[in-house]
Amino acid sequence: MQRARVVLLLLLCFSVSRYTYSQSDSCALHVSLLTCSPGEELYSAFGHTALRVKSSATGMDIVFNYGTFDDSEPTKFYWDFTRGLMFYSLSAYGFSDFVEEYRSQQRGVIEQELQLSCAEKSKIFNALRDNAQPQNRNYYYYFHLDNCTTRAGDMIIKNTDSPVVFKNILPAKTPSYRNLLHAYLDKGHQPWSKFGIDILLGSNLDKKVSNREAMFLPDYLMKGFDSASSGAKPLVLKTEPVVIVSTTAVETGSWFTPFVLFTGLLIFITILSILTGSRSSAFLRGFDIFFFLLLGLLGVLLATLWLIRVDDVCRNNFNLLWALPTHFVVVFVMNRQKQWVKSYFKVVCIISLLLGATWFILPQALNPAIAPILGLILVRSWYRSKI
């Protein structure tokens, strides 16, 4: 989950002969799961996972990082991002460089050394080395199904001789994917990011997660490994911090949240709508054009994401019930005294009322800040249906 610098692979140009360990030498290998704490930016808000392989015999100490991507071509990068075709890579570089990067970002790193047999450690290392080859290192990133954390976890799970058995790490009330993301965004005081995610990502994100599915997030994979076993032994041999970050300062979020902004706007526009006067009427005509144009553009964006993304995270988006793409067309004729325009806003008013009435039974959790937006739509569509 980290926007790592594009590190031009120190691609382990290890010759097979030099790093093919005998059964006794392979016990000098140590394989660890590295879990990194969240950062301040959205791309790092959910933490990160990497794998460490070191040898006490040769001094080798390498981090395998599935979180590398190239954003050197912004236009292509954002187009691929919109389509859900994020191209990520596995990079391999020195452990000391990895630690320094996270220390400079003031992000903690916890290491779980895995209790594996000599053969299993060699198997994992060989699989990672093969995966890091230029022809194998790239993959398409899907943030909750196939990401840098799931890849690291699968690399371990698929290369143990005995199946990895996980204990339950979920609370009694099973969370959805959205619930899990909200917990990180709330803790990181990112209400605007939470608002944007809740609007863009559809009802498929409200699916309840299984114990294993929850491990798409770094902290949950760490918790899963901590209580897991392989064969008759615990999977984790020992856990220790690698980078310790001081948490003495108490972070507080800003009062300026989407809910506060739109609630204030709802109160202001409602008061103006009640008042009768040429100035308030002129202002509201301009506001309506701007407001419904934004809603229409948002609706077009949501519909486009639903249609063009290769994954399903933006599909079945109930936000399209209030961000109607048709607003984008109607806004250009809304100030004309046409009966069909009045009828259109009457329908919009009814849809908004129904959405408000079914708020808590929808298959998609809507962001609380949408409630005052819905209030704005109700107020202005009601007046639009009457004038």
Q: Are residues 230 and 263 in the same domain?
A: no
The average pLDDT across 5-24 equals 38
Overall number of domains in the chain: 2
**Residues 228/337, Cβ–Cβ less than 8 Å:** no
CA distances (Å), 334 to each of 48, 306, 328, 340, in order?
49, 27, 11, 10
Look at 66 and 8; give whichever has higher pLDDT. Answer: 66
Encode pLDDT of 214-230 as tens digits.
999 999 999 999 999 99
- Mean of all residue pLDDT scores within the chain: 89
Shared-domain flag, residues 263 and 368:
yes
Whether 5 is covered by a domain: the verdict is no
Q: Is 214 in the same domain as 307?
A: no
Phi-psi region of 140 (alpha: psi -120 to 50; beta: other; left: phi over 0): beta
CA dihedral angle for residue 365, residue 371, residue 375, residue 377, rounded to 10 degrees: -50
Full domain range(s) for residue 103 = 25-170+209-243
Q: Both 308 and 232 in a single domain?
A: no
Question: Does residue 295 or residue 42 have the better pLDDT?
Answer: 295
In this predicted structure, which of 16-25, 188-197, 309-318 has the lowest mean pLDDT? Answer: 16-25
Residues 6+ positions from 340 with CB-CB distance below 8 Å: none
pLDDT at 381 over 80: yes
226, 296: one domain? no
pTM of structure: 0.86
Does residue 384 carry a pLDDT above 60? yes
Residue 66 lies in a domain: yes
d(CA 220, CA 169): 8
In a domain, 191, yes or no: no
Residue 58 falls within a domain, yes or no? yes
Mark whether 38 and 162 lie in a shared domain: yes
In this predicted structure, what is the pLDDT of residue 2? 41
In a domain, 9, yes or no: no
Please report whether residue 250 resides in a domain.
no
Query: Tell me, what's the pLDDT at 143?
Result: 85
For residues 217 and 315, state if they share a domain: no
pLDDT of the residue at 387: 72
Q: Is residue 10 part of a domain?
A: no
Burial class (CB in 10 A: 0-12, 13-18, 19+), 282: exposed
